[in-house]
Structure 1
Amino acid sequence: MTDPHQQLQGALDNLDAVFAPLAGLPVAVGGCTHCYAESDLEALAGPVHEVPDALISSVAHKVVDHWDDFPGLYRRLTPRIVRLLVADELDHGLVASRLLAAGWRDWPAAERMALEEVWHAWWRSALHSPAGGAHITEVLEALSVTAGTLVPWLAVWAETRTEAADRHLADALGYWLFEDGLADLRLGFCDELHAPPQLLPWLLSLEDGRIRADQMREIERIGYS
């Protein structure tokens, strides 16, 4: 089986290829001239691969009304934005909210499928990564908010019986349970996804031994209260 990290790189390359016709076309870009110089707008109107990373990052986070055609601009820049997101150089919840605002679910099927391929590969790569901390919750936030559901991502997590995946689960619970956050956990910059209705039943359904006893007591307290 292909290494999860190699699968992710292949999915990112495919995303570039699918969006290449759109990314290479010169377009007219209008936006807030208080925040962006004319040279920035000219760069955004040219080939996407030539746009500086710093400008891509700025557009990825900027509010929707800064642009004359926000959905068109965001769609065009998506492969560059996603690469920065996967590299942890962007705010996960904010980019997920911006993708929703850009209407990504209404894009042509090939573009949607290429982005979904990246999401699935990124999730498997993240679960197999030895790095710990709250990062796994940020990846999950980006994926679940854009998809509108936690269900497929939690299903993959349940099936991934590795030391790394279980360590990520313990780290995620440490983050979610802090100050009772799990009771009303909301994901996305605009709180688009209310997590407990999907997350709590999943946590309570996991096999014995997947969750530490002290964490399970807190989950049961919240879930059954």
Structure 2
Amino acid sequence: MPVHELLALCAEAAGTAAPWLAVWESVRGEVSDRHLAEAAAAWEYGLLGDQLPWDSWDDEDESGLRGELSAWLVRHVPERLRAREGCETLLHRVRLIGLAGPDRWEDPHWPGHRY
């Protein structure tokens, strides 16, 4: 099972992703960073559309989880993925997750997603 799917399962069960994100933040290395890149790539489409990137069973918790996940990605992904080859586009998309409204959709790196 991909790490990002396991994190989604844990976050849904607990109503928060914070404990698992904190562990991921503390674990450094090639494997952890590879999983982080895979997660960011899997989640960017949903998060850019202001949606939780997995099906949530509790709509009331969705915006809280989405905000928690978005803020964590914007804070922690760039530092860890700048050194990885082939992550330039992903880094722009993560940066866009941190923007709102026209600042996001009018940015020259907007991927053109339609929701």
Same fold (TM over 0.5): yes
**Cα distance between partner residues in 2 of 1:176 and 1:208:** 15
**Cα distance between partner residues in 1 of 2:55 and 2:36:** 20
1:198 equivalent to 2:68? Answer yes
Alignment of 1:65-144 (within 5 A): 135-144=2-11
Q: AA paired with 2:80?
A: R
Q: Which residue does 2:21 correspond to in 1? A: 154
**Cα distance between partner residues in 1 of 2:78 and 2:40:** 15
1:181 equivalent to 2:51? Answer no
When the two chains are superposed, the root-mean-square deviation of aligned CA atoms in Å is 2.1
Q: Which residue does 2:94 correspond to in 1? A: 219
CA displacement 1:112-133 (0-9 Å, x = unmatched): xxxxxxxxxxxxxxxxxxxxxx
Q: What is the deviation of 1:208?
A: 4.6
Q: What is the deviation of 1:191?
A: 4.4
TM-score in terms of structure 1 length: 0.36
Paired residues of 2:43 and 2:53 also in contact (CA < 8 A):
no
How many pairs align?
A: 90
CA, structure 1 residues 186+214, in 2 after alignment: closer, same or farther (shift >3 Å)?
closer
CA, structure 1 residues 214+141, in 2 after alignment: closer, same or farther (shift >3 Å)?
same
Relative CO higher for 1 or 2, CA cutoff 8 Å, sep ≥ 6? 2
Give ranges in structure 2 of 5+ residues lacking alignment: 82-86, 101-115
CA, structure 1 residues 188+156, in 2 after alignment: closer, same or farther (shift >3 Å)?
same
CA, structure 1 residues 148+217, in 2 after alignment: closer, same or farther (shift >3 Å)?
same
**Cα distance between partner residues in 2 of 1:143 and 1:156:** 13
Greater CA radius of gyration, 1 or 2?
A: 1
Q: What is the deviation of 1:223?
A: 1.9
**Cα distance between partner residues in 1 of 2:78 and 2:54:** 27
Q: What is the deviation of 1:196?
A: 2.2
Q: AA paired with 1:216?
A: L
Q: AA paired with 1:166?
A: D
Q: AA paired with 2:90?
A: Q
Q: What is the deviation of 1:217?
A: 1.2
TM-score in terms of structure 2 length: 0.66
CA, structure 1 residues 167+186, in 2 after alignment: closer, same or farther (shift >3 Å)?
closer
CA displacement 1:26-84 (0-9 Å, x = unmatched): xxxxxxxxxxxxxxxxxxxxxxxxxxxxxxxxxxxxxxxxxxxxxxxxxxxxxxxxxxx
**Cα distance between partner residues in 2 of 1:176 and 1:186:** 5
